[in-house]
Amino acid sequence: MNNYREIKKQNFYDSIFEFIIFRNRIKHHIIKRKTNGISNFSNFIIWNIVFFSFIPLASASIAPFVDIDYKSQEDLYDAILNTLFPILFVIFLNVSGNTGSIKNIVLPLLDDILYNMITWMIPLIVSFAYDDLMKIKLFSIANMFLHVICAVLAIIRAKRVEMAVNNDLLNFFRSIALVLIINPVLVIPIFWINIITHTSHTIDSTSIIFLTLFGICLISFVLLLTLILLLSFGNNIIEKEITKIICILCIICFYVPNILQTLFIALSWPINFYFVKACVFILILSLTRNVSYFTDRVPKDFLATSTTMTQYILSFSIAREMQNIFRGIQMSMEEMHEKQEEMHKIQKTMQAEIDEMQTTMQIKINEMQTTMQTKIDEMQTTMQTKIDEIQKSINENKNING
């Protein structure tokens, strides 16, 4: 009993001792946290003082590098256009007209606007921006009347491509296409060659390059007329080859002079940065739309504008010539296949004749062998008979003598 009480007292004292130790640890931890918090707060204040003390020094060191006279409008405009270029390229290359879609009206009108901007609007703007460009102004105004009349006449019809192709209006749109093909390749090179040779006081490398390129356009036009004349006198083989060349020359005559004109204006009369950038932007957008006529099928519900029908006729002619080329290749392959089949038939016939000859020879050999074997058997039989007769005679003689 006494031992039990002593054990109980000892446990009581131990629990009190442990409680005191635990309480001391809690006080120590609280005091330590307060101390760390005070030290962290003091460190925070010190570092902020140090950091903000460097701000005047930093501002003083950066300020001399700031260009106060710098204007960001040109670079911003350039960056925006460079961003829009790939976006619009993807849109205009992948866009397609669906039945009843407003795109079938908007896209042909956009093609007409872009083509007219390149053909006469850009030269007209340059002629008004400079004082001594009366020739370019008159040229642009005359060009404007021609293209606007063609565009208005086509839009007044308010026909779709399918209707324009399948009725009597096809000859009308062919006439407009002929005007829009001949005018750029004949008028534009002659006019700018005259401007370069008579207006420019010095002929530099740029002038020489464009004189050469415009001269090539005129040579293409002369070659086109020559091939058209030869087309009426050629035979079928020559006609096919001439038609392919004529289609290629028509594409060159329709697109290349306007491209050269825009580039020459941007190099010779750059109004400002924005004008040059806009010229390149319009030119590339127009070419992007033009490419879609040759890479994709033109929707039948497209509005039959002057530019749309011209490019449709060109793309249709190229597609037809490509089909003829592939058809000719296919016919050549079919002819080769037929020749191979004929050769195969000839080989079969020759093999059958050889087999027949071998069979006939084998039969004859067998007959000869049979005949020879028969004769050999007859000879053996005859010889055996004679031998038997001789043997019989010998035996008879023996019997008689015996």
The predicted structure's pLDDT at residue 115:
92
Q: Is residue 349 part of a domain?
A: no
In sequence order, what DSSP letters do the residues of 56-69 get, joined into one string? HHHHHHHGGG--TT
pLDDT tens track for 357-370: 888 888 888 888 88
β-bridge mates for residue 264, sequence order? none
Q: Is residue 37 part of a domain?
A: no
Q: Is residue 208 part of a domain?
A: yes
Mean pLDDT of the chain: 75
3-class secondary-structure state, position 234: coil
Residue 323 has pLDDT above 80, yes or no: no
Residue 112 has pLDDT above 70, yes or no: yes
| pLDDT band for position 4 (cuts 50, 70, 90) | very low
- State the Cα–Cα distance between residues 398 and 402, nearest whole angstrom: 6
Q: Report residue 321 as tokens.
A: 């010539």
Tally of domains within the chain:
1
3-class secondary-structure state, position 184: helix
User: Which of 7-11, 43-47, 101-105, 115-119 is the least confident region?
Assistant: 7-11
Residue 12 has pLDDT above 60, yes or no: no
Instruction: Give percent of the chain above pLDDT 90.
Output: 11
| pLDDT band for position 331 (cuts 50, 70, 90) | low
Q: Is residue 293 part of a domain?
A: yes
pLDDT tens track for 125-161: 998 888 778 888 899 999 999 989 988 888 887 678 7
Residue 61 has pLDDT above 50, yes or no: no
Q: Is residue 5 part of a domain?
A: no
Q: Is residue 214 part of a domain?
A: yes
β-bridge mates for residue 160, sequence order? 303
The predicted structure's pLDDT at residue 262:
92
The predicted structure's pLDDT at residue 2:
45
Q: Is residue 170 part of a domain?
A: yes
Contacts of 111 (CB under 8 A, 6+ apart): 286, 289, 290, 305, 307, 308, 311
Q: Is residue 195 part of a domain?
A: yes
Residue 272's domain spans which residues? 103-328
Q: Where are the alpha helices (DSSP H) in 205-235?
A: 205-231
The predicted structure's pLDDT at residue 48:
53
Instruction: Give percent of the chain above pLDDT 70.
Output: 66
The predicted structure's pLDDT at residue 30:
55
Residue 177 has pLDDT above 80, yes or no: yes
User: Which of 58-62, 115-119, 298-302, 373-377 is the least confident region?
Assistant: 58-62
Look up tokens 């004082």; give the residue.
Answer: 131
The predicted structure's pLDDT at residue 356:
82
**How much of the chain is helix, strand and coil, in % rounded to 5?**
90, 0, 10
